[in-house]
A = this chain, B = another copy of it.
Amino acid sequence: MINYPNGQKAPKKAPKKKPLSPTSLANRGMSFENLINQTNAYYRDSDRALITKRPTPIRVVKVDYSHGAKIKEAFFEKQSTADYNGIYRGKYLDFEVKSTLSKTSFPLANITIHQIEHLEKVIAHGGIAFFLIDFVAYQEVYLLDAKKVIEVFKFSKRRSIPYQDIKNHGHIIEEKINPSLDYLTVVDQLYF
């Protein structure tokens, strides 16, 4: 692990590689989103939780109905909520999943005010809200409570959260074979 106690910028070269277990090597053949989807499928099939991905909203402009409905023109839209939601141990969960290539911080540039407001409302209604943040360079995934992100987003001028803060305030998710990213074990510790 590389630390930057003096706030120095990370070097441009690749980080020193950690020795990897065959498991994490195998897992990392998959995108972060696929790892989460696989984990959720495992939770669903083992009746541990029911968590689903909200499909990417797409604005459809033109549809050709000549052979069934074929979309000919459409655009991706930004999610105004978070990526995933569901039920676990009778509680409502809502969370956003983000991957970053940065070695020094988690950028908030791709998070919208609508998503922040959505997560604030989740908390106000008694639900559980968090981010799963994948630091690709370190092959580390953290669960960070949404309150921390809301706080930085709304009450500071910073447009990112330092990696070191996430190490301190977040909780690392263990990568396993099945489920590949067992984030509910961290949810157990934090919210129950």
Contact = CB atoms under 8 A, between A and B. Distances in A.
Interface stretch (A71-79, A97-105, A135-143, A164-172): A71-79
A81 B52 contact: yes
A85 B85 contact: yes
A44 interface: yes
Given A44-B121, A49-B125, A81-B52, A58 B71 contact: yes
B50 A125 contact: yes
Contact of A50 (B47, B70, B121): B121
Interface of A: 44, 47, 49-50, 52, 54-58, 60, 68-76, 81, 85-88, 90-92, 94, 118, 121-122, 124-127
Contact of A87 (B44, B49, B126): B126
A88 B127 CA distance: 9
A112 B44 CA distance: 18
Contacts of A44: 121
Contact of A90 (B57, B85, B88, B125): B125
Contacts of A121: 44, 47, 50
A74 B121 CA distance: 33
Contacts of A57: 55
A147 B156 CA distance: 48
Given A55-B57, A121-B50, A72 B69 contact: no
A24 to B, nearest CB: 29
A69 B58 contact: no
A159 B69 CA distance: 25
Nearest to A74: B71
Contact of A70 (B68, B70, B73): B73
18 contacts: A47-B121, A47-B124, A50-B121, A50-B122, A52-B81, A54-B54, A54-B55, A55-B57, A68-B75, A69-B75, A70-B75, A71-B76, A85-B85, A87-B122, A88-B125, A90-B91, A91-B92, A92-B92
